[in-house]
Chains A and B, each alone.
Chain A
């Protein structure tokens, strides 16, 4: 008892330490770090706008709508690149989303834990493969497979559709879309798997408890419970597919044409940029490439914003105030 009083007296005689000082320093430091993000973002945007000014002045709005891309004549239009970007990404998402979700469900609900661990590990490994390797594999292995098997099969059975007409060349928009699908698949699968593993067991038990099958439990309860995370995963994959460069450049054929057939060669914004910066000798050519980059920047921004609001809206709906 005596001792403790002494200790208190001791403490009281110490000079008080001003705790608020380091806190203020940290606050400013953190703010400065956060500012870096804004500066980089603004810097990129500014440079893109500045360098693309010439192209936009020259072609105006028709830069976005014209599909002629003719360096010799000095005519540039982004339509074919925008089209190729959206179509290849669209193909990728149409294939990757359902496939990823099915694989994730299999990993979490169906597979034996050992099998699940093995395949799960492979999925993570696949996500880490550099895109150039996808590109090389796509060109040397997958494109050949497309040419000899997949494309002939499609034109035989679905050849009535303009989408699947024309000679099977192996490379082209469809092949690029499929390669993109393979690339985003591991991302969406891995996140969806993690989301499904977070579903509380007791919630699943309740679903089984009212007599749901496994499929009904997954479809109506687990996926619904994790839908916010899954939508986030999908948009992450989407962003990756939109901007993917190397793999697409290898297999898309790099032609500035809009064709109804998915077999024909095309280009995406990213692949054109990668291909053509070396050749861009004229200032207007260079400026047009910057304008393309600005368009990609804009598309990405639009989809990011949509994703943001969508997820936020779901959050609000779940919280119950609408």
Chain B
């Protein structure tokens, strides 16, 4: 497996995207993928999010930054209502994805989670083969023939920039892959069910710098087809890969804007203190 072969499927960061990051885009001019209004979140009696309101632009990478414990994970875990598997966790407010409030009780959770993929801090390969890890979600959501599934698995692994490394060992257990490969597998697994929004909660915090840069390249290519909400594991990563950044502090959204502006010329004093490393 040579490096050049593997790069084939990782598109180089598109020129458009690079330019896009250079200029400062006006978020209010972009189509909105997720519209959040007065979102409050409670862990039992303890409130963790306060009156969050934000518009996540479609086909952009939005980073969520803030000191540890400020509610970044809590915030993105509302989008796919994954928090609901725990009895005492509760969200209130409006979270509209494509204009539909997903917090409404009539939301089809399975469809919602197909549409909103999630990548976790640690890679979470299922205890099955590499192939089955990807095929699993496809089989959940589609009636596909064996051949179609195989095609989709291949496609997802290519988009996940992993195909070249695993195509000869698809039947091996996914747990035998390296941490970085496992994380790309998880991204491929999420992509396989054709989501529109991908949530990533510190996807690179458990892997080495080389694997991290591969995933950052991958995120770069994802923005062409998906909306990405990313909790980066440090501020450099936010600066490198995101178009927009939201700064969270103690469960409140303090500031939201183009990444370049947030990092160079934030409006809010707290944001500035955080960016310049005065706290956090």
User: In the complex the two chains form, is A203's CB within 8 Å of B82's CB?
Assistant: no
How far, in angstroms, from A211 to B137 measured CA to CA in the complex? 7
Beyond A206-B124, A317-B173, 19 additional contacts (C-beta under 8 Å) are A203-B124, A204-B85, A205-B85, A205-B124, A208-B82, A209-B80, A209-B113, A210-B113, A210-B136, A210-B193, A211-B109, A211-B141, A213-B110, A221-B126, A224-B126, A224-B128, A225-B126, A318-B127, A319-B176
The secondary-structure label for the interface of chain A is helix
Answer whether residue B172 sits at the interface, using C-beta atoms and an 8 A cutoff. yes
Query: DSSP class of B's interface residues: helix, strand, loop or mixed?
Result: helix
A205 touches B82 (CB 8 A): yes
B102 within 8 A of A: no
A301 to B172, CA, bound (A): 32
Find out whether the CB atom of B126 lies under 8 angstroms from the CB atom of A211. Answer: no
* Given A213-B110, A318-B127, residue A208 in contact with residue B85 (CB < 8 A): yes
Contact A210 B124 (CB under 8 A): no
Chain A residues positioned under 8 Å from B80 (CB to CB):
209
Choose one: B118, B172, B173; the contact of A206 (CB below 8 Å): B118
A interface residues, how many (CB within 8 angstroms): 25
Task: State the CA gap A202–B83 with chains docked (Å).
Answer: 11
The answer to whether B126 touches A220, judged by C-beta atoms less than 8 angstroms apart, is yes
**CB-defined contacts of B190 to chain A, threshold 8 Å:** 209-210
On whether the beta carbons of B127 and A225 are closer than 8 Å, the reply is yes
Complex Cα spacing A48 to B225, Å:
73
Judge whether B140 and A209 touch: CB under 8 Å.
Answer: no
Name which residue of chain B comes closest to A216, CB basis.
B140
**Cβ of A212 under 8 Å from chain B:** yes
**CA of A320 to CA of B109, assembled, Å:** 34
Residues from chain B with a CB closer than 8 A to the CB of A200 are 124
Q: Tell whether B33 is near chain A: CB-to-CB under 8 Å.
A: no
**Once the chains bind, are A210 and B117 in contact (CB under 8 Å)?**
yes
Tell me the bound Cα distance from A206 to B112 in angstroms: 14
What 0/1 pattern do residues 293 to 322 of A give for CB contact below 8 A with B? Answer: 000000000000000000000000111100
Q: In the assembled complex, how far is the CB of residue B217 from the closest CB belonging to chain A, in whole angstroms?
A: 23
Size range of the chain B interface in the assembly = 20 to 34
Please give, as numbers and ranges, the residues of chain B lying within 8 Å of A319 by CB-CB distance: 173, 176
Residues of A at the B interface (CB closer than 8 Å) are 112-113, 200, 202-213, 216, 220-221, 224-225, 227, 317-320
Q: What separation, in Å, do the CA atoms of A202 and B128 have in the docked complex? A: 16
Complex alpha-carbon distance, A200 and B122, angstroms = 11
25 A-B residue pairings within 8 Å (CB atoms): A112-B87, A200-B124, A202-B122, A202-B124, A204-B85, A205-B82, A205-B118, A205-B120, A206-B124, A206-B186, A209-B117, A209-B118, A210-B113, A210-B137, A211-B193, A220-B128, A220-B136, A221-B127, A224-B128, A225-B126, A317-B173, A318-B127, A319-B176, A320-B172, A320-B175
- For window 175-205 of B, CB contacts with A under 8 Å fall at 175-176, 186, 189-190, 193
User: In the complex, what distance in Å separates the CA atom of A251 from the CA atom of B141?
Assistant: 50
Q: How long is the Cα–Cα vector from A144 to B190 in the complex, in angstroms?
A: 56
Q: Is B60 an interface residue (CB 8 A)?
A: no
Instruction: Kindly state whether residue B111 has any CB partner on chain A within 8 Å.
Output: yes
The answer to whether A211 and B118 touch (CB under 8 A), given A205-B82, A205-B85, A220-B126, is: no
Q: Assuming A210-B136, A211-B137, A320-B172, is B85 touching A203 (CB within 8 A)? A: no
- Choice from B113, B114, B122, B127 contacting A224 with Cβ under 8 Å: B127
Segment 121-148 of B: residues with Cβ below 8 Å from A: 121-122, 124, 126-128, 136-137, 140-141
Alpha-carbon separation in the docked complex, A263 to B120 (Å):
55
Find A320's partner among B112, B176, B193 (CB 8 Å cutoff). B176
Is A210 within 8 A of B140, CB to CB?
A: yes
In the bound assembly, the distance between CA atoms of A202 and B137 in angstroms comes to 17
Q: Which residue in chain B gives the minimum CB-CB distance to A225?
A: B127
Residue of A nearest to B111 (CB): A211
Give the 6 A-B residue pairs with the shortest CB-CB distance, closest first. A320-B176, A210-B137, A206-B124, A211-B113, A209-B118, A211-B114
Q: How far is the CA of A46 from the CA of B151 in the complex (A)?
A: 62
Contact call B189/A210, Cβ cutoff below 8 A: yes
- The answer to whether A207 and B126 have CB atoms under 8 Å apart is yes
B118's closest neighbor in chain A, by CB?
A209
Partner of A211, one of B110, B173, B176: B110
A202 touches B120 (CB 8 A): yes
B175 and A209: CB pair below 8 A? no
Tell me how far the C-beta of A42 lies from the nearest C-beta in chain B, rounded to whole angstroms. 39
- The smallest C-beta distance from B190 to any residue of chain A, in angstroms, reads 7
Look across to chain B and name the residue whose beta carbon is closest to the beta carbon of A319: B176
Interchain CB contact under 8 A, B120 and A206: yes
